[in-house]
Amino acid sequence: MSHKEAPLTAVLLMVTATLFIAGTTLAAKALGTDTLGPKLHPLQVTQGRFIFAFLGLLVVAAVMRPKISNPNLKLHGARTFCGAIGVTLMFSAVAFIPLADATAISFLNPVFGMIFAIPFLGEKVGPWRWLAAGLAFLGAVILLRPGPETFQIAALLALGAAVMLGLELIFIKKLANREPPMQILLINNLIGCILISIAAVAVWAQPTLAQWGALAALGLMMAAAQTCFVNAMARADASFVTPFSYLTLIFAALYDWAIFSAVPDRVSILGAVIIVSGAALLAWRETVNRNRLRRVPHSGGGRI
C-alpha cells in the first residue's frame, strides 16, 4: 500500500530510526566489553540482534498481516549472509574504537554499494560519483590514523563492515524491485536467526541478566529502526529524507560520551565530516540522476 507524501512525518521517522541505530551500536559496545559482565563474542551479539529483531517484527506482522508470496530465497540468503558478516564486524569494531569513529566509517557502505553496482548491476559511474567516493575514502583513511603509533587496527573491522554492508545494498536493490518491505524484513531476520545461531554455537556463553536485557534491546531497537526507516522512505523522496540519517553519527558520539566518557578528538571529527560530505555528495548526484531519468525516460543515460 502506498503512502501519501508527508515530509514532516518522514523526517520524524528517520530521526527516530537514527536514535535506534545509534542505540544498537551502544548496546553492542556494552556487550562486547565487560560493562555488563564477561564480554560476549560478536557472533553471539549478532545472534541476539537477529533473534530479538525477528520476534519484534513478528509482533508487527501479527498486526499488519502481510502476505508472503514468491520470495527469492537465493537473493534473501545472499543479502542476509553479507549483512550478518557486516553487522558482526561492526559489533567487533565498536568494542575497541569510539562509536563515532565506527559509525562514520560505516557511512562508506553506500560508496561501496556504488562500486559494486558497476559489475553486478551494470551501472555507469562518472566523475561526480568518483569524487564522492574519493572524499569518503579520504575520511576513512584519516580515521584509520595511518601512523606507527596511532594506527587503529580495529578500524579495519569497521571498514570491512562497510564493504559487506555495501555488497548487501546490491541484493537489497534487487529484492526491493520484487518484494514488499515487510516480507523482505521478515525473511531477512528469519534467515539471519538460523545462519548466525549455527555459527554462534561454538562461542556461545551464558549471558548475565543485564546482557540478556541488552541483547533484547539491541534486537528490538534494530527492528524498530528498520520499520521507521522503511516508513520514512515511503513518505518522502529519498533525496529529502536520507541526509537526516547522518544524525546517527551525532547520537552515537553523544551515547559514547554519556556512557563511556569518550570524547571525539579533532582527527575523529575531521574524518567524520569528510566521510559524511562524500556520502552527501553521492546522495545529491543520485537525486540529479533520478530527476534526469524522470524528465527523459527513454534516454540512453550518460555518465553522472
pLDDT tens digit sequence for 30-75: 999 999 999 999 999 999 999 999 999 999 899 888 888 999 999 9
Domain spans of the chain? 7-295
Helix ranges (H only) for 33-72 are 42-64
Hey, how many other C-beta atoms are within 10 angstroms of the C-beta on 296?
Answer: 9
**Alpha carbon distance 24, 130 (integer Å):** 31
* pLDDT computed for residue 135 by the predictor: 87
C-alpha cell at 49: 540482534
* pLDDT computed for residue 151 by the predictor: 66
C-alpha cell at 45: 551479539
Q: Cell 518522514 identifies what position? A: 10
* pLDDT computed for residue 150 by the predictor: 54
CA distances from 50 to 58, 87, 195 (A): 12, 10, 10
* pLDDT computed for residue 6 by the predictor: 76
Global pTM reads: 0.83
Residues 47 and 196 sit within 8 Å (Cβ to Cβ): yes
pLDDT-flagged residues of the chain (< 50) = 1-2, 297-304
* pLDDT computed for residue 302 by the predictor: 44
* pLDDT computed for residue 1 by the predictor: 43
